Amino acid sequence: MAWDSSSFPEFNSDCSSLLRRYLSKQLFEQLQNKVTASGFTLAQAINSGVVNQDSNIGVYAGDAESYRLFDTLFEPIIFDYHGFSANDIHRSDLNQEHLSAPNPDPAGQFILSTRIRVGRNVADLPLGPAITREQRNLIESQVAASLRDLSGELAGTYYPLLGMDETVRNQLVADHFLFKAGDRFLDAAGLNRDWPEGRGIFHNREKTFLVWVNEEDQLRIISMQQGGDIEAVFSRLMTAVKEIEKSVAFMFDSRLGYLTSCPTNLGTAMRASVHIRLPQLATDMTAFKKITDAHQLQIRGIDGEHSESVSGIFDISNRRRLGVTEVECVQDMYNGVVALIKREKQLE
């Protein structure tokens, strides 16, 4: 759907995005003519949510300045999503010793795999929605060069998307290692410009440590493995993040934490998830959601966001990422998963 960005957008009656909730006509008119130093406008920030009326959120930032210039729109959305408030500040805890999350399923009956990722963007450059082709390509070459220096378990190879064999790419996506192509939410946010140039994936030989380059965020640093050893996955990720931070300066704000293109990822930018088989709970989604809501968890399908569950397998992850530490993000996921497994066993 194309829209005339000079006038207040129309929202469908069933549109329930945070954009629709917080963008009044008056606010639209106040912000309409503001432009950040990298040339990012309100129309660009809200395009994804206007074009995709089934958005949950509907806004993206083009740069660090977007969060300040358009704060009267971004802040209520951030507060609503994360349960964060104006007086809160971001807190970080990357110490793996502080996490207590022993494998909730040592027999391997429920948890298929565990994955934890953080988003990161490069300091002093625009975010993906406003970046230029040259800046994006520069990030790709600089990040690939830093990753080349990793050693031990983290050592691996960078594979650019440009020129990648389609069969190889499809297999990486199907195996849950690589991002999908053509996401319509990202597309409308300007995040798919010049695709596939500048994008790629780094991974170690075992594919337990991976870095996505120039997708929704400039880096998505990922640790994953089969089974439910959450502590091992977290520990590998924390080691990797600290290592990469030695050679790449990340965009960070003392109040909002790590800055990301989507406000849902601010703060820790962490999503800790398990793929978990819960066939009994799957038959009663109301009871299922009661548990996930109580633990502030999100339910996704088997192929990630905007996908469906298959054979009673779900992707369960922490929902809050700002105002909580990295350790707390994982703890949210862990506590909820323990509760889900307990309920599933009762229903068996």
Binding site residues, ligand ADP, CB under 6 A: 113-115, 117, 176, 220, 224, 271, 273-275, 300, 303-305, 315
Q: Which residues in 305-324 contact ligand ARG (CB under 6 A)?
A: 305
Structural tokens at position 154 = 């983290």
CA neighbours closer than 13 Å in the CB half-sphere of residue 337 = 32
| Residue 55 contact, options ligand ADP, ligand ARG, none, Cβ 5-8 Å cut-off depending on partner type | ligand ARG
Among ligand ADP, ligand ARG, none, partner that 185 touches (CB below 5 to 8 angstroms by kind): ligand ARG
* Residues 328, 1: Cα–Cα separation, whole Å: 40
Q: Is 300 a catalytic residue?
A: yes
Mark whether 206 is an active-site residue: no
- Which token pair is 68? 């300040």
What does each C-alpha distance from 152 to 144, 177, 226, 230, 236 come to in angstroms? 17, 20, 20, 20, 11
User: Is 264 one of the catalytic residues?
Assistant: yes
Residue nearest to ligand ADP (CB): 304
Task: Compare residues 21 and 207 and give the one whose CB is closer to ligand ADP.
Answer: 207
**145 CB neighbour count, 10 Å cutoff:** 12
Residues near 184 by beta carbon (within 8 Å), at least 6 away in sequence: 51, 52
Name the residue nearer to ligand ARG (CB basis): 188 or 237.
188
Give, as ranges, the residues between 47 and 76 that touch ligand ARG (CB under 6 A). 48, 55-58
Which sign, positive or negative, has the C-alpha torsion 304, 49, 84, 96?
positive
Phi, psi of 317 (to 5 degrees): -145, 165
Catalytic residue status for 271: yes
What is the rounded distance in angstroms from the CA atom of residue 101 to the CA atom of residue 152?
25
Q: Catalytic residue at 305?
A: yes
Of the candidate spans 92-100, 240-248, 257-265, 288-296, the one that interacts with ligand ARG by CB under 6 A turns out to be 257-265
Residues that bind ligand ARG (CB under 6 A): 48, 55-58, 185, 216, 262, 264-265, 305
Task: Write out the catalytic residue numbers.
Answer: 117, 216, 220, 262, 264, 271, 300, 305
